[in-house]
Amino acid sequence: MVLTFTLGPHVRVVRIVANGLRRGPASEARLLYEDVTEST
């Protein structure tokens, strides 16, 4: 799944890599998605 959303004046695109099995720390959550936003 790929999500596209605005963050202020910027557009951000992230690919969901896996679903989390539990609510955990941010360090674990960052492993569940990949930022594929194009740099300009």
Please say if the pLDDT value at position 40 is more than 90. Answer: no
pLDDT tens digit string along 3-32?
A: 999 989 999 999 999 999 999 999 999 999
Q: What pTM was computed for the model?
A: 0.71
CB atoms within 10 A of CB 15: 11
- Residue 20 CA neighbour count, 13 Å, CB half: 12
Nearest to 18 by CA among 30, 35, 34, 32: 32
